Structure formats: C-alpha cells, structure tokens
Structure 1
Amino acid sequence: MSLVRIKDLPFAWLCSNARRDGERDFMPKRTDISTILIIGAGPIIIGQACEFDYSGTQACKALREEGYRIVLVNSNPATIMTDPDMADRTYIEPITPEVVAKIIAKERYAIPGGFALLPTMGGQTALNCALSLKKMGVLDDFGVEMIGASAEAIDMAEDRELFREAMTRIGLSTPRSHQIKTLSQALAILDDIGLPAIIRPSFTMGGTGGGIAYNKAEFIDIIERGIDASPTSEVLVEESVLGWKEYEMEVVRDKADNCIIICSIENIDPMGVHTGDSITVAPALTLTDKEYQIMRDASLAVLREIGVETGGSNVQFAVNPADGRMIVIEMNPRVSRSSALASKATGFPIAKVAAKLAVGFTLDEIANDITGGATPASFEPSIDYVVTKIPRFAFEKFPGAENILTTAMKSVGEAMAIGRTFGESLQKALRSLDIGLNGLDEIEIEGLGLGDDMNALRAALGRPTPDRLLVAAQALRYGMTPDEIHDACKIDLWFIERLREILELEALVRAHGLPNDAANLRMLKAAGFSDARLSALSGAPRTAVTELRHRLNVHPVYKRIDTCAAEFASPTAYMYSTYAPPFAGAPADEARPSDREKIVILGGGPNRIGQGIEFDYCCCHASFALRDVGYETIMVNCNPETVSTDYDTSDRLYFEPLTPEDVLEILAKENESGLLKGVIVQFGGQTPLKLANALQKAGIPILGTSVDSIDLAEDRDRFKRLLDRIGLKQPMNGIAYSVEQSRIVAAELGLPLVVRPSYVLGGRAMAIIHDNGAFDDYLLGTLPGLVPSDVKARYPNDKTGQINTVLGKNPLLFDRYLSDAVEVDVDALSDGADVFICGIMEHIEEAGIHSGDSACSLPPRSLSADKIAELERQTRELALALGVGGLMNVQYALKDGEIYVLEVNPRAARTVPFVAKVIGAPIAKIAARVMAGESLASFGLKPSRFDHVGVKESVFPFARFPGVDTVLGPEMRSTGEVMGLDRSFAIAFAKSQLGGGTIVPVSGSVFVSVRDVDKPRVLGTVKLLAGLGFKIFGTGGTARYLESEGVPAQRINKVSEGRPHVVDAIKNGGIQLVLNTTEGKQALADSRSLRRAALLHKVPYYTTLAGAIAASEGIKAYLAGDLEVRALQDYFA
C-alpha cells in the first residue's frame, strides 16, 4: 500500500527568518514588567478541561521563578493554580471582562513597574476575555501590555475570515468557505458550498455550536445554534472534507524567530470528528519524511504570518488521501488540549517554556529539565515510542443523546498510553479508559446475525461513534478485508493492518491456548495483550495467566521519557512500561528505583462525570505534602490533562493504566530497592479504590482507612448495623441481589424510592422512582447498561440473567425518598483518635439532586447552631466507628427536625478543594500526612471561624447534547464547578452564577410557574423581584395566586395551552428569568421544551424554590453594585 503523497504546493510560505514589521527587536528577559496577570480557563467544561490547570500552574511557577509578581484570576476552586501559594494574588472570581477589569484596576499600581497580561494559558475563555478588555479600552487605560500573543494575532487566528485571508497570502489552501452573520446569508451561499457542509462558529472552543449539516433542515438548525454560540455572532460555512486525514503540529516560537516542532499528532479518525473526540497517535505514523517536512515548514509559516511572536501554538491540517491535497483547517494561538498531550507525550513542558518566552527568553536560553539541563529547549524533541490518546465519553449520563461524533466535541476526558509499538500503545490506552475493556475486545454490533452481516458491519463502520475502532476490529473478525473497512470508515489502511496483526495473534491464542515459552509469551505481551485479555482468549483464569508469566520471568521493563530518544541520559524519572525487546546497546530497564522510603499515589485515570479534577487536586496535594516531609512520592496515572502527570509533581511518575496487573508490576519494581511505606488509594476516586482488594491480597500496605472500612461503608447490611450500634438514623432502606428481590424490596418500602447500584461514583444509574412503570423501565432499561461485556457473552439472550449476575456481587440499594428535605455535606479529617470537622455545606437544591450537581454554601445558610453541633457530633461518631485515617465525607438529609445519614464515603470527596479554599487550610495535604502516620493533633487545627461565604455552583454540558432534558436528579451530570466568594451570601451566589456562565439579569421579565405547595413560599421572592422593577409573567394558576396576593402578574400560556406561549416569549427575548418547580412524570414532560428553550437562549432557569430565593437575593445585591473583587490571600490576612 502507498502512503499519502502531498502534492506540490506553492512555496511562498517557505519564508526567511527575517522579522516582520512591528516585531520587537531582540531583547533579554523583560525587566520593565513587574506584575503579570494570568487568566485561567474557569470551570471544567467539554472542550476546555483540566489541561488548562496544568498549563496555568506551569506558567505561574515558571514566571514566579523569574521574580515576577503573579496575579491570577480563575473561578474554578478545584484547580492547583488557585492554591494561594501558586500566585502572589489569587482571585477566585468570575472570568468576565467587567470583573477582570476591576482586578486590573485594583492591582495595576499595587507595586511600581509594568503590568502585563498573559492570555494564552486559559483556553478560549482567557483569549475572549482578553480581547474584550482590549476592545473596551481597559488595557490601554491602565497601560497593560498583552504578552504571549497580541490582540491582532488572536483576532487573525480566531476570526475565520481573517485566517483564511492570511493563509491565502502565504500560498496555503483552506477549505472553500464563506463567513456569515445571519441565516439569510447562510442560505444564500448554500448552493456554492453544497451539502454536507461544515459549520464552525468563531471564537468558540471545542467546536461549540458547530457541526456537520447533511440536509437543509440540519443546516438551518446548526447555523442558528452557531450564531448564538459565537461571541461575535459569526459562523464559517465550509465545504465538506469528510474522510480526509487529519494532522496536528505543536509549534513553539521565540522572539528571535527560532521555531521548533514539539510533536506531530495524527488523528486516526478522519476529518468530520473533532480532534478532541478522535483517537490520536504521536508521532504521526503515516507521513513520509518528505511529507512531514512540508507540513512542518507550513506550520512555521502559519505562526509567522499570524504573528504569534512567542509561545506555543497548534496548527491543524487535512490531507486528501486521494490526491495528496493539503489544506490548513485552523490554528490555536495559545496552549491547548493538544499542547498538554504533546507535553506529556514528549516530556517537553510547552506551557512552562511558552511562559518564559513571553517575557523575553529565547529557546536556547531555557534549560531542558528532563535532561537535567544537558540540552536547551531549542532541541526539537525526538521520541522512540508510540503514544496513543483515546477520549472517554459520558453518553450514558444523557439519555436521548445520539452517540454520533461530529465537529462539536462531546468527550469528557481522555486516557493516554505509551508503548514501543502501535499495538502495545493502543491496547494499553484501551484498558486505561477504565470502561471495562481489557484491550481490543469484542463488541456487539446491531444487526449482526440477521442474515446480512456485511451490510450491518458497513453501516456500523460508516457511523462515527466512540467505539468505531473496536467495530473495525470486529469487522476483521467477521472476514471483511482491510480495503473494505477503509472504504466504509476512511480510517487509514496502515492502522487497519495493525489491527489485523493484533487479531492474528489473538486467533493463535484462541486456537492453541497460552504459549509455554517465554519468547512467545513476551511477543504477545509486546503486542499489548493484558493478562485479563489473554485469560478471555485462552479460557484460563486470569490468575493462571499471571502465574505463568511470573514463572517464565516475563515482566515489563520501564523506559524513560527523555525528549531525546536516549541520546542523553535523563535524571527525570518519567516512565512507561514495555515488553518490547531491548535495543542494541540500550539498558533493558531504566526505572532505577531508589533506596529511599517511598509512598505510591494512585491517580484517577481519565476524567469522567463524577470523577474529575477534584480528585487530581487531592493526589497532587498528597504528593506535595509527602515530599515536603521527606518521602519519595511515586505517582501512577494515565491522564495527560492533569497536573498529577507533570514530571515534577512527584519524584517518580509512571504513565500507566490503573489496572491490577499494571500497578502490581510497578510496585514489584519499586520494591526492588528502598522501603515501600504504602499506597494511597483514597484520593483518586473510585478507580484506585477498585484496586484496593487486589493490592491487599498481594500484601501491599494500604495507607489510611482500611479496605475493610471502605467496604463497610458500601455494604448496606454492615453499614446499617453500624448505624444502629451508634444510634444514628437512616431513611427506610433495603437491598436486593436480583431483579425478583428488587420488586419485593420496592413493594415493602413503598414509593417514591431512591435506587442505586453499589460501588459507583457520580450517582451512576441512580434514580428516583415515582411509579411502577418507571421502576420496570429502570430494572430492564437502565440496569442492562451496567452489565460488562463478558457477562453479556455468558447470557446472550437473557437480560434478567445478566442483571442478576451483576447484582449478585454488587447489589441494588433502595432508600425511601425524603421529599423537600435539606441536604448537607460534611467533610472531616480523622486519624482514628481525633476528628476535625473541615466544613459543613448546605445544599441549595433539595435532597434528591446529586450532591455533585447541587449548589451549596459554606458555612451553612439556614441551619441552627444546635443542628450544626449535632451534625458535628454524628460525623465524629461515624469517623471513629469506621476507623477513618485521612479524609471522610458524610451526606445527611434534614427533614422535620430529624437528621438522616444518606451516605458515608471514607475517602476524599469532590468537595475537598472547595472546602480547602473557603476555610484556608490545605486539608488534602494534612490528610496525606495523617495517612503516613502523623497525628491530627500535631497540626493544631482550630474550628474554622471566618466572616465570608463560599458558594459552589455546578456547570453542565447540556448545550453539547441537543434534545437532552436539562432536569436534574440523583445521577450526576455536571462536568465542573465554580466558586463565588464574598462577605455576603447574596453576592457570593451572584458570583457563582456569573462564574458558571449564567447571566444575572438586571431588568426585564420573570416567568413564574410553581407547584401549588410552593406558591405561598415563592411569594416573597416574586415580590422582591417585582420591587426591583421586573415584570412578572405566570401560568394561569400561578398568575391568579400572585394577583390575589397583590403582585401584578400577566398570564401567559403553557406550551400545552396553545400559542403564543412561554417558549415563544423566550425565543423572542421577552423573558429574562424562569422560576419553575415541577413534580411527577407528566409535569416534567410538559415543561421540557421550556427548559430547552431557556438553555438555548441563555435564560437563567431555577427549578427549585431554594434556588429561586438565592437567585433573587443575588440579583438584588448585584443591582446594588455590591460586587467587589478580593484576593483569596486577603480573606485570611
């Protein structure tokens, strides 16, 4: 087969190194600047995740190292960069131009010297904010210089039309396109572009609002959505390049026009799938050297033309496999998701280097940390391994969402793996996803076995879904040829051939079982086969596979990521495993474990809803704290976005899957020298907790709370007995180990019920059941989604048998639903003898909405001193009874004066970073040291006394999933969080709304429609809003009630009552705020279109009474002009 050939191109863009007009003369490190403002990325959202905490943290450290005073603004409390010791002045405030302008006004003249703004570390949020500040005149008024990228360069890169013109000037092609601002303009150019068409809004991230239109109706829908999503209401409509190959180049440039390529990245999925949703490999594997050089030179030309004077950028290309035509898709004039991937793939710290370049350094003046300074940063990284990144999705959290991938990003996280071959790297990445895959596993494909398998396979391959690579492997198993598969899905033949090679080895194991010699077993392991996968293929128990491997002395060796393909020795212990045979002259193993006392910290793996940046924050703090007291810290994780996988967060880093096999091999290696004090499994969420039993069986010491206590908290029967013993209450509850038993338990408890599987995080498959029909839907509709593929294979046509097999080990838990209860979260520290209550958080939404989705306030807003004291007492009782060593989180419900224990988690919770920032204590660091053996008393902790309020608010990805209902429930759906911090609750709440992207309305109309029981309770809120000048609209019953109580209210139709109705009013801009409480299946269904319209038109929508009250108070305080900005350090001065 022949590789793609890029056809001859104009070479106007192969320009000289001469600087362009306006570029600064060479100068040393900037001494005219004393203060640098860094804008963060805000909450974790799809398209902009914790890679920007990684880049922002690197920038803060690099610039403070050079003596600059750092002012940081970010609204996300779960980030390392918002730790008070990371910057000189830390503002956890909304990232809006108006708020950042206040910060600039406060900090600009705090010390003498120049003031600069670095906007390239906070994703699209920071870029857009910086551009707005420039256009508002704020930067000029205060004499603030933008460094890293100029406003003109950002404009040219982000404005689709300006970018196209720039590429034309240097002779590079872009897709045929038109920039439009209205639907009528879009329809006018449709004939020229044709369908399918690619729609890309300007100044957005992760393809927000964009997509692929295959017909006119889709075209109109996506155009309207894209115009709404773009801050400038501009959309680029492009010709389709679906099926073309996609590549990325990570480029760094300094002020002297030195340019280097950090890494080339190839997307396995063809054009049409957002690069954040595509499986990618580094380096690019299907380019010849000549083709690579052409693309490299084009990348450098793009940076020069756009005017990115210093720092990192990402340039994306598409290549037509039919004729080699190369076009430029886009470029990001900042560090990006791909920058984080390239940094972890090569060891080259792009964000750190970019920050230093922004203040005047050149690449040759910056030492390469990885090689211990043996090489400068001007050396282009060279890698002698293959990196594979696979995204992780959360479609199961959004019923009704179509799992088709387009140009709008939908993944919530990613895993990365490193191997010597593509096969080894790919199979490690698949098992790193933590979704039950052991490698290139079999997959069920709809339509197979019905008599037309080939067409069923073609149809599945033609749909870009998250599991398309597994579908391609399955098609090979069914006898499709690589060419047929390529024709159906456009994945390059080279990758399909590599899949075929893996499957040939798979077939050998199926036919002949496991090899009895080391050479052949090592060959299988070098192709990426895990012990669990070999077990499934051979029929031998997994333990037997591991025993055979150990008997034959087949173990992985560990290689170092060194940026230079082993040309120079690397003192940095950044490692990956491989079974590939050693190269001539190279040592087989480069791990070189030390003789120090060491502690291993297991990370959380890829981000997902329910397990995200908050847990990585805890892992990082554990490493920082334990290093400070002399332990060698060893991090194991496989998430390229995170601070925990930065090479200098821990003493030693293993970039490896979090499976029993991989982790136990690492521990065996580390046990070769020094003393392993133990492993921390409590900080990374559910992923490392699932490994605790395997580690304990292997004799590995687990630090902190015992495995038995962790199990006790999850085991409903044992936990109930413990609560009875210490005299604490639970809601009426039950437990079921089968479908039949579930029906019996539900009948005994009565409806409504809260039901959830055990041993899950983020409320996975948790639901409130109001009627028997919903219960049947749950048992036979929702639960099958939790059944692993191997169980499905054992009971292929028996759904009940599948579910019973799962429930036999992980039973279903039932609680009587406490309607209208107040939910409370308590975080605590314990060493088994003493207990310290870190924070008591009162949820703003009532019990029944997942704690990770509910807004909450610290300190609690409405609880009496007696209730707070009783909550503290019960928490102490629980911590001591469970023998907690480290952190613990307890969730309570308060109803009719009684306190009920809902759940206890003897581990780090996602609230830890928020609590730490509000109370001003590094509780995760303290917990880690307690787990290592220090007493809680030695830290001298005192009960928190503070005169400010923190409000945590959640951020949701509903805009990414058209057609999904936005109503909240017991299953977590938020991707991130923000914090509002102020002296008053009202302003803190308003800040939390602004920080989460919600508009705080200051005038206009409010639509009110509430349940009968809520009408008297909402009256005060509506009166307050009316008194502030808002016009009140209500549905029939609500409007009549308000009128009867003296509040002028205009009646408006429900959707079911005919037009014009409330949705029309929202679409016409006539409603600025919605207060709507509903209950019951029909009422929820009736109001679904109302929720969707409010989301699409960015109208704030509150579905709980407590939320409505808080919002009205926040609006009142906001209107009074009480929003002040205050640095985190000042709250604890």
Structure 2
Amino acid sequence: DRDLFKQAMSAMGLESPRSGIAHSLEEARTIAHELIGRYPIFIRPSFTLGGSGAGTVFTPPEFDEKVAWGLKESPVHTVLIEESLIGWKEYELEVMRDADDNVVIICSIENFDPMGVHTGDSITIAPAQTLSDKEYQRMRDASLAVIREIGVETGGSNIQFATHPDTGRLIVIEMNPRVSRSSALASKATGFPIAKIAAKLAVGYRLHELPNDITRETTACFEPSIDYVVTKIPRFAFEKFPEADDTLTTQMKSVGETMAIGSTFKESFQKALRGLEVGSFGFGCDGNDLWGTDEQPDESEIKEKLSRPGPQRAWYLRYAIKSGMSVEQIYEITRIDPWFLDNLLEIVETEERIRQCDSLSQISPALVRTAKRFGFSDRQLATMLGSTESEIRAHRLQLGIRSVFKSVDTCAAEFEAYTPYFYSTYETEDEVPEKVEGRKRVMILGGGPNRIGQGIEFDYCCCHASFALRELGIESIMVNSNPETVSTDYDTSDLLFFEPLTVEDVLNICDRVQPDGVIVQFGGQTPLNLARALKNAGVPIIGTSVDAIEGAEDREKFQQLLHRLDLKQPANGIARTMDQARRIADQIGYPLLVRPSFVLGGRAMEICYDNKQFDRYVAEAFVAAEGQPVLIDRFLEDAIEVDVDALSDGKDCVIMGIMEHIEEAGVHSGD
C-alpha cells in the first residue's frame, strides 16, 4: 500500500518522493496541481507487479490517460501520483532479518540506467560501483530501519533507493517485502541462497544457526563479501514483435537476462554482452556492429538512441564514443554515471590500440593480455586483426595467455570454499579442484538467457541430466549464464561455471577440466549451434552426435533423409538465394511455409499467401539462418499436427509419448 509505506517512511524521517494517493481522476489532478506542481509526473498503481500500469507522463492529456489506465490496473483501484525522479541514480539493497532482529545486507545492486527504466529492464551491477563508503552506510542504515519499521519479522526484502547525482539527496522509492527478481540475481551474484535461507527463517531458525554451505565454517549471519564484479543485462524479444514500441520505461518488457562475473566492470560487461546471444561478442568490433558499415549511424541518430532508452542503447554508447562525443556530452543525454562511461571509453581506446596493429604478428603479448583482462573475446581480436578466432586462440595459448577460474565463495577467499562455483578471468591463480582419479567428468551446456521459444523447460532437462549423472557416480559440470535458473544453483551440479555459452568460453573450460564428454542436447538451440565448432576443436560430444543434430536441423539434409526413407512430405524446395526461393514459390504455389535452419521457437518462420509477403519473409529468414539453407514448403491447411517423443540407445527406439495439437497446423507447438 503506497500510502501506508509513505507514512512509515515519514515517521522514521526518511524521504520519499512528494506524492499523494488518488482514487479518481479528479483527485489525481488536484494532487498533480497542488502537491507536485510540475511535469514530468510518475504514476504508480497499488498492488501490481512488473510496473504494470505505471509510467511517467509529460503533459496533462497523457496524465489523464495514464491515471485512468492505472486505476483500472490496480486491484484496489488506487494510484500514487508522484514527483518524477527521472535521471536520478538507482540502487537496491537485499536485506535479510530473523526472529531475533538480526539483520544482514546480502548485496548492493546499482542500476547502470538512471531512474525511469524498470529495474528488470536495466543493466545492473553488483556490488554498487559509484557509492562512497559514507553514502553506502547511509543506505545500509536506512535499509535496517525500513525492514524493522515495516515489520518484516523473518525473511528477505528488496529495498530500492534513488540518489540525486548532484546534491546526493537520498530517497526511498519502494520495498518488496518478499524475494524479488533482484533476490535471484543477488543469490547468484554472492553465492548466498536467499530463498532457501528465507524459508528456514520462516520456520523458526535464526541466522546464526544456519551454516554457510560454501565455506562450512561461517553462518548465514556473515554478510557476503564480493571481490569481483557482476553485470546483469536483460534479454528482449522485440525481434518477435517488430511493430512493438521498444522504448524502455517503468513497465517491464524484457523476457530474460544474462549475468557475467569478472575481475573488473569492463570484463564482466563485455562477457555479459557475449552471453546475451544476440549475435554480439562484446562491446562492438566483432564483425556484427554497424560502425564502419554502410549503415553507420550519424550524429542525430546516435543522440536520438541515447536519449531514448532501448535494447540497443549499450552499443550506441560505443558509437557515441567512436563519433567523438565526450563523456560529459554522453552523460548530459543519458544520465548514466560518468564512472561507467569512463570504463566504456577505456574499452574503445584499447580497441583503437589493437586496430593500429595490422596483423596478429604485430600485436604485443602485453596488449593481448590487456585486451583479455578488459573482456575482449577472441572473435573481437580476430575481427580487428584480420585473423580467425581459432588462430587468435592458438596464438594466445602459445603466449601462455589463458583464463583461470576463480570461485564464488561469499567471503573473498577468507575461508576455504567447498562448493565449486566458478567464473573465468585473466589473472594468475586458478581455483578449480583437480580431477579425481578414476571418476568420469561430463559437462552439460545450458540454454543461456530465457527468450520466447527457449526457456525454463530446457533448464529442467539440464538439471535432471545433472542429477542422473550424479546417481551414476559421474562428476557433473554445468555451464550456463542465466541467473534465473535452477541449473545455476551451486548445488545442482558438482562443478558450476557461470560463463557465456560461446565456443571460446566453453573451450576455455574444457581446457581446464578435461571432461570425458560434453552433452549439447539439453540446453535448447544454444548448445546445438556450438556443437560442430566444439567437435572440430577436439571436444568429445556424447549423446546425440553432431552429424545427427545437423541431419535434423539442416533443412536440406533432413529433406534428403526423408527422400531416402521414402516418407511423404509436403512439396518443398531448399533455397540459398532470393532467386532460388522465388523459383520454388512459382513451382509449388501458395500458401507457403518459410523455415530457416538452426532456429528455435519458430523464429523467422512464416506462412505466406502472396508474392509481396513471400519476398519480405524470405529476406528475414535468410538473416535468421545466418548462411544456412531456408526450406520453403507447401503449407498444409486444415491439417492435424502431432508430436511424437522418442528415446533411442542407437539400436532400440521407444515411443515415450504422442501429443495431438488442438490448434491446426500453422500455430507453433509452443503456443
């Protein structure tokens, strides 16, 4: 209840934004005029989740429309009319309390984006990077006071603050008296299992009675200490909805997130961009960005993209630096703290130094090491030096520049860690335990960030695969980058590597742990796309073979298989160019189904009823297929669709289940 919360804050002498509660449009207008007196104004419905119905308005007509919508969204039909804090810095603290009034701070989280973007859609960093110790202690004291005043007797809470970048004025924005989206992130960032501890506190345990699984010496009343930097970047699905507005506001729009851990912000930021799986291998310069191409944005486009938060803004920060804009100019437009912008500037300056070396033979070992410490991927180095990823890797290993793995231990190495939970970095000391003689090691590749078409169902499979390996006495190794999953809990597998799912990152882990086999069939499309490159690098792929994967995923190979087996299929053809596609369309006739290879969740698959539709969708399919063939087949109208699940040991095949779709063919099975 926004009003009760505001009263509680006032009673403690803590500031909250100037605001009033409205039950009608008339009341709302009075509050806006008399209490706040200026636009922009923020509107927040009571008892909603994910910022539903909330938003910032800049004009009276917008205000009326948003208030009406907010009153409808709120189950108690009340809205909070509040002064806007757009451009202020946003922080969160994760707090735990037990029945004896012991309170601990688990983690501080800083939002890269200023106020105005929902925290679920903002890039976030843990621990907070731009707070002075004095500011942090003020926030910490306020958090302890808030959890006690509100009366959360046991369990976790997430408390959000805003600070004015110039005056330092501290405001309490809101509190979630429960585990939140940020609690899951804080758990993975620190190794402190917030929900598990909260459940035990609820049934009567005290913090000092709960042992820390990772150190086995400390208890839950020790606040985690972090000697690394964690970056979370949200994953969006606007490619599925090209008509949707991709402006990021106070209503959440992301569908998943990736998290990366590094020794510095620069390293974890570039690793997180790799882990997003949107075709980027870091902060640009990977052959997939627009800079230096015909589509290079001009100054007006760059400024427009910077002023309007969106999923592409991180890369436009790079374009702004490349175009010569200063940190001060970028800050004025974005209100992103200059400390972060300075770090991004250092990445771009390092990129310029690398580009001055014309070839791999000219780059110094010191510069390669600096680049790796700044989070540059082998793919980025290959793009800048006109080489290949495998050549860069070979050269790097020859120079003795290889990643080491550090453990997430909750205590900054003060106590020994028994739970093997690791991240890669380019330092000197490695903390991965040696392989046990006579015990097999098998690695499972997870699915990366949730997105439409690849979500928790694959994580479920990864977890059960890990449990099965353990039952067989085999050491299970999990690789994933998604903080929202069970597979990235430190007790799901024997060894957990919180790393992006790219060929380079997986090979670095394989070099260190020497698995007896790697399974790629449980993590959805992501690991399947890595299978061929891993096999070529000598990694033993077990389970479904690379040839079998390609035989099913490559539309052309699968079509040939059906011909060999003399099985019926709709009239179809394989296209690698636009001309081929049009010829096939003329032969078969409409309606047609266009399907790229190696995609999941029906990405870029479309039913076409005429030439105009066909040309547009085929062009999109070629982009999605990334050089792989596109299948064009006759769309069967009024057809019944059936899924068959089968399991084979290579000799015998068992049908595990047959499912009939209620919708006719043409509706994706996931829908």
Q: Same fold (TM over 0.5)?
A: yes
Give the alignment of 1:569-608 within 5 angstroms. Answer: 569-579=416-426, 581-582=427-428, 588-595=429-436, 596-608=439-451
Paired with 1:591 and 1:456, the residues of 2 have a C-alpha distance of 47
Paired with 2:293 and 2:521, the residues of 1 have a C-alpha distance of 43
CA deviation string 1:361-390 (max 9, x = no partner): 11111000011x210110000010000000
Q: What's the counterpart of residue 635 of structure 2?
A: 817
Q: What secondary structure, in the 3-state scheme, does the structure 1 residue paired with 2:165 have?
A: coil
TM-score of the superposed pair, with normalisation by structure 2: 0.96
Paired with 2:59 and 2:584, the residues of 1 have a C-alpha distance of 50
Percent of pairs identical after alignment? 60
Q: Establish whether residue 542 from structure 1 lines up as the match of residue 402 from structure 2.
A: no
Q: Establish whether residue 250 from structure 1 lines up as the match of residue 75 from structure 2.
A: no
Runs (4 or more) in structure 1 with deviation over 6 Å come to 445-450
Is the CA contact (8 Å cut-off) linking 1:419 and 1:576 kept in structure 2?
yes
Closer/same/farther in 2, CA of residues 447 and 523 from structure 1, 3 Å limit: closer
Paired with 1:776 and 1:511, the residues of 2 have a C-alpha distance of 42
Q: What secondary structure, in the 3-state scheme, does the structure 1 residue paired with 2:356 have?
A: helix
Q: What's the counterpart of residue 600 of structure 2?
A: 761
Paired with 1:437 and 1:623, the residues of 2 have a C-alpha distance of 29
Q: Establish whether residue 837 from structure 1 lines up as the match of residue 655 from structure 2.
A: yes
Is the CA contact (8 Å cut-off) linking 1:393 and 1:411 kept in structure 2?
yes
Q: Establish whether residue 356 from structure 1 lines up as the match of residue 195 from structure 2.
A: no
Q: Establish whether residue 316 from structure 1 lines up as the match of residue 134 from structure 2.
A: no
Q: What secondary structure, in the 3-state scheme, does the structure 1 residue paired with 2:662 have?
A: strand
Residue segments in structure 1 that go unaligned for 5+ positions in a row: 1-158, 583-587, 787-805, 854-1133
CA deviation string 1:836-888 (max 9, x = no partner): 222111111111011101xxxxxxxxxxxxxxxxxxxxxxxxxxxxxxxxxxx
How many equivalent residue pairs? Answer: 662
Paired with 2:335 and 2:291, the residues of 1 have a C-alpha distance of 19
Return the offset for 1:784.
Answer: 7.6
Paired with 2:579 and 2:64, the residues of 1 have a C-alpha distance of 49
Q: What's the counterpart of residue 18 of structure 2?
A: 176
Paired with 2:634 and 2:106, the residues of 1 have a C-alpha distance of 56
Return the offset for 1:446.
Answer: 14
Q: Which moved more, 1:727-736 or 1:276-285?
A: 727-736
Closer/same/farther in 2, CA of residues 517 and 508 from structure 1, 3 Å limit: closer
CA deviation string 1:538-595 (max 9, x = no partner): 222222111110111110010000000000010111000000x34xxxxx11012322
Is the CA contact (8 Å cut-off) linking 1:615 and 1:683 kept in structure 2?
yes
Q: Alignment partner for residue 296 of structure 1, among 140, 146, 157?
A: 140
Return the offset for 1:356.
Answer: 0.7
Q: Establish whether residue 381 from structure 1 lines up as the match of residue 381 from structure 2.
A: no
Q: Alignment partner for residue 564 of structure 2, among 720, 725, 732?
A: 725
CA deviation string 1:648-694 (max 9, x = no partner): 000000001110011011011012xxxx3311100000101111001
Q: What's the counterpart of residue 321 of structure 2?
A: 476
Return the offset for 1:184.
Answer: 3.4
Q: What's the counterpart of residue 429 of structure 1?
A: 272
Structure of higher RCO (CA pairs closer than 8 Å, 6+ residues apart): 1
Q: What's the counterpart of residue 548 of structure 2?
A: 709
Q: What's the counterpart of residue 896 of structure 1?
A: none
Q: Establish whether residue 462 from structure 1 lines up as the match of residue 303 from structure 2.
A: no
The higher radius of gyration belongs to 1
Is the CA contact (8 Å cut-off) linking 1:383 and 1:564 kept in structure 2?
yes
Give the alignment of 1:142-291 within 5 angstroms. Answer: 159-192=1-34, 193=36, 194-291=38-135
Is the CA contact (8 Å cut-off) linking 1:243 and 1:272 kept in structure 2?
yes
Return the offset for 1:468.
Answer: 1.4
CA deviation string 1:52-107 (max 9, x = no partner): xxxxxxxxxxxxxxxxxxxxxxxxxxxxxxxxxxxxxxxxxxxxxxxxxxxxxxxx
CA deviation string 1:312-347 (max 9, x = no partner): 110000011021111111111111111111110010
Q: Establish whether residue 518 from structure 1 lines up as the match of residue 365 from structure 2.
A: yes
Is the CA contact (8 Å cut-off) linking 1:445 and 1:457 kept in structure 2?
no
Give the alignment of 1:882-961 within 5 angstroms. Answer: none
Is the CA contact (8 Å cut-off) linking 1:518 and 1:553 kept in structure 2?
no
Q: Alignment partner for residue 670 of structure 2, among 842, 852, 871?
A: 852
Return the offset for 1:449.
Answer: 8.7
TM-score of the superposed pair, with normalisation by structure 1: 0.57
Is the CA contact (8 Å cut-off) linking 1:249 and 1:263 kept in structure 2?
yes
Is the CA contact (8 Å cut-off) linking 1:251 and 1:312 kept in structure 2?
yes
Paired with 1:546 and 1:370, the residues of 2 have a C-alpha distance of 33
Give the alignment of 1:695-1094 within 5 angstroms. Answer: 695-780=534-619, 782-783=620-621, 786=624, 809-853=627-671
Q: What secondary structure, in the 3-state scheme, does the structure 1 residue paired with 2:556 have?
A: helix
AA aligned to 1:437 is S
Paired with 2:662 and 2:145, the residues of 1 have a C-alpha distance of 53
Give the alignment of 1:118-133 within 5 angstroms. Answer: none
Is the CA contact (8 Å cut-off) linking 2:405 and 2:423 kept in structure 1?
yes
Paired with 1:718 and 1:481, the residues of 2 have a C-alpha distance of 52
AA aligned to 1:638 is S
Return the offset for 1:455.
Answer: 3.7
Q: Alignment partner for residue 336 of structure 1, among 180, 193, 201?
A: 180
Is the CA contact (8 Å cut-off) linking 1:445 and 1:460 kept in structure 2?
no
Is the CA contact (8 Å cut-off) linking 1:829 and 1:836 kept in structure 2?
yes
Return the offset for 1:448.
Answer: 10
Is the CA contact (8 Å cut-off) linking 2:555 and 2:629 kept in structure 1?
no
Q: Establish whether residue 636 from structure 1 lines up as the match of residue 454 from structure 2.
A: no
Paired with 2:138 and 2:204, the residues of 1 have a C-alpha distance of 29
Paired with 1:491 and 1:387, the residues of 2 have a C-alpha distance of 18
Give the alignment of 1:492-507 within 5 angstroms. Answer: 492-507=337-352
Is the CA contact (8 Å cut-off) linking 2:260 and 2:269 kept in structure 1?
yes
Q: What's the counterpart of residue 393 of structure 1?
A: 236
Q: What's the counterpart of residue 417 of structure 1?
A: 260
CA deviation string 1:221-274 (max 9, x = no partner): 332332222222222121111000000000001111111110000000000000
Q: Alignment partner for residue 528 of structure 1, among 339, 364, 375?
A: 375
AA aligned to 2:339 is W
Paired with 2:60 and 2:613, the residues of 1 have a C-alpha distance of 37
Return the offset for 1:779.
Answer: 3.7
Is the CA contact (8 Å cut-off) linking 2:378 and 2:392 kept in structure 1?
yes
Paired with 2:435 and 2:174, the residues of 1 have a C-alpha distance of 46
Paired with 2:505 and 2:349, the residues of 1 have a C-alpha distance of 24
